[in-house]
């Protein structure tokens, strides 16, 4: 999430009543969760396992729960609970705004676009030209839809990330302040869900076609001209390159990459990054030809057993 206008270290630290290390006028131009940081960003870290990663990331201001020296050219904010303070800040800069109307007056809808009845379009949504948004679609605040996009009924664009921190007594919710972006010429089937990014963008690349009941998790980036069949579920922070085909009911775990042109057969499960240009099958997936050979072997096992 970009901050406009830019904030200073002192301003941000005072909002959460925290000590800091660095120039009070140090600029903070964005707030981002560690997966999507760049120069000028504020991020947070609260687990020793990730201190080094956060301190050496592109983020230039870090909320941290340990007394460490401030890296050169950066700033630190000290907090006993960085997650809590980070969530607090995101809520200040991007609070949830209730809508009184089905189509918010702050939404922009391009020329030639048809909005069918019952569609909800939240605040600050942008929809391009010549789109067709079918009945009863819901588009959350700040979503961006390109030109020539078709979205079928029941689909939900930009719902919150499924991102919770385990506390001893409960699951603590991250406040999602990112966006869902649907590029030009995309078609999204009925009853799909494209979650917004936690602080960055979830992106459905140009020309990609999604069937019905598809789930795309937060901050996941889908390339161009991909084709996903019904009931595909993709977790958060996944990178799907161009021209990937996922057949029905494929499941994809978080934080991995599917290479360009990969084809994944139905009901497969992807738990690790896989190279492009090949066909895969199984849960967890292997190359399809290997998996098929295994399954053929398995059928011979009863006879093999008798032999022994």
Catalytic (active site) residue 218? yes
Q: Which is nearer to a second copy, 10 or 287 (CB)?
A: 287
Q: Is 277 one of the binding residues for a second copy (CB under 8 A)?
A: no
Q: Which is nearer to a second copy, 27 or 266 (CB)?
A: 266
- Judged by CB under 8 A, the stretch of 8-16, 63-71, 86-94, 147-155 that binds a second copy is 147-155
Q: CB 273 → a second copy: shortest distance, Å?
A: 16
Candidate residues 5, 67, 72, 100; the one interacting with a second copy per rule CB under 8 A: 100
d(CA 182, CA 198): 16
Q: Is 279 one of the binding residues for a second copy (CB under 8 A)?
A: no
In Å, what is the CA distance from 123 to each residue of 63, 96, 144, 289? 30, 10, 11, 49
Residues 240-269 close enough to bind a second copy by CB under 8 A: 248-249, 251, 253, 266-267, 269
Q: CB 134 → a second copy: shortest distance, Å?
A: 7
How remote is the C-alpha of 280 from its chain's centroid? 24
Candidate residues 60, 155, 199, 202; the one interacting with a second copy per rule CB under 8 A: 155
Q: Which is nearer to a second copy, 239 or 253 (CB)?
A: 253
Q: Which two tokens stand for residue 136?
A: 């009863």
- Judged by CB under 8 A, the stretch of 16-24, 60-68, 72-80, 286-294 that binds a second copy is 286-294
Q: Is 5 one of the binding residues for a second copy (CB under 8 A)?
A: no
Please, where are the H alpha helices in the chain? 9-15, 51-55, 82-93, 288-307
- Binding footprint of a second copy, residue count (CB under 8 A): 78
Q: Which is nearer to a second copy, 81 or 287 (CB)?
A: 287
Q: Is 143 one of the binding residues for a second copy (CB under 8 A)?
A: no
Q: Is 307 one of the binding residues for a second copy (CB under 8 A)?
A: yes
d(CA 97, CA 100): 10
From the list 142, 213, 218, 231, the catalytic residue is 218
Q: CB 187 → a second copy: shortest distance, Å?
A: 7
Site string for a second copy, 49-88 (x = CB under 8 A): ----------------------------------------
Q: Is 301 one of the binding residues for a second copy (CB under 8 A)?
A: yes
Please report how many Cα atoms fall inside a 13 Å half-sphere around the Cα of residue 197, on the Cβ side: 28
Residues 159-178 close enough to bind a second copy by CB under 8 A: 159-160, 162, 164, 169-171, 173
Q: Is 239 one of the binding residues for a second copy (CB under 8 A)?
A: no
CB 24 within 8 A of CB 9: yes
Site string for a second copy, 190-219 (x = CB under 8 A): xxxx-x-----------x-x-xxx-x-x--
Catalytic site positions: 218
């Amino acid at each position: 999430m970009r901050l406009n206008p830019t904030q200073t270290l002192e301003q941000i630290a005072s909002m959460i009543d925290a000590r800091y290390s660095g120039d009070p006028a140090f600029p903070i131009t964005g707030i981002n969760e560690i997966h999507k940081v760049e120069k000028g960003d504020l991020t947070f870290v609260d687990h020793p396992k990730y201190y080094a990663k956060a301190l050496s990331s592109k983020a230039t201001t870090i909320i941290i729960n340990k007394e460490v020296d401030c890296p050169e050219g950066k700033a630190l904010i000290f907090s006993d609970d960085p997650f809590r303070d980070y969530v607090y800040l995101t809520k200040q800069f991007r609070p949830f705004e209730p809508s009184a109307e089905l189509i918010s007056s702050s939404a922009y809808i391009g020329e030639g676009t048809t909005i069918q009845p019952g569609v909800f379009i939240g605040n600050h949504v942008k929809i391009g030209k010549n789109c067709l948004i079918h009945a009863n679609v819901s588009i959350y605040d700040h979503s961006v839809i390109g030109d020539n996009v078709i979205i079928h009924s029941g689909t939900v664009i930009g719902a919150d990330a499924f991102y919770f921190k385990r506390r001893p007594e409960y699951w603590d919710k991250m406040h999602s302040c990112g966006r869902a972006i649907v590029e030009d010429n995309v078609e999204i089937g009925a009853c799909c869900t494209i979650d917004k990014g936690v602080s960055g963008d979830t992106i459905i690349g140009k020309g990609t076609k999604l069937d019905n009941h598809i789930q795309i998790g937060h901050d996941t980036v889908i390339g161009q001209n991909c084709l996903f069949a019904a009931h595909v579920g993709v977790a958060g922070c996944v990178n799907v390159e161009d021209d990937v085909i996922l057949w029905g009911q494929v499941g994809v775990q978080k934080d991995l990459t599917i290479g360009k042109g990969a084809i994944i057969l139905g009901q497969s499960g992807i738990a690790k990054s896989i190279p492009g240009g090949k066909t895969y099958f199984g849960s967890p997936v292997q190359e399809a030809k290997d998996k098929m050979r295994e399954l053929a072997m398995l059928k011979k096992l009863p006879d093999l057993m008798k032999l022994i």
